[in-house]
Amino acid sequence: PYARVSGFDRTISDEAQRRIARAQRCWLSVDLIRTIATEKEARNFIGRAIAKLAPPESVFLVDADTGRTVPFTAAVRARLAAGQPIE
């Protein structure tokens, strides 16, 4: 599980979500290899890639830099696809 590798599950305050995160057996990671222009543009590119590539049954979105974890909902996917930040 990704939680074993990263420890990101410790940042999830909701116990039910933490249990789901700990049970995950696969993950999709998109990393920045080279700066596109600005960090914002790079993050927008990564977000659009995740929105396109993540399977429909995806449960969480984790920012590896901050440990922030949010449920991967249809609204989150739409925001990422539009190049908008997750609030």
- Where residue 2 falls (left for φ over 0; alpha for ψ -120 to 50; beta otherwise) is alpha
Please state the length of the chain. Answer: 87
Cβ within 8 Å of residue 45, ≥6 positions away = 36
Flag whether pLDDT at 28 surpasses 90.
Answer: no
Of 12-16, 17-21, 55-59, the range with the highest mean pLDDT is 55-59
> pLDDT digit string (tens) for 37-57?
788 888 888 899 999 999 998
| Cα maximum dimension of the chain | 39
- What is the spatial distance between Cα 87 and Cα 84, in angstroms, rounded to a whole number? 9
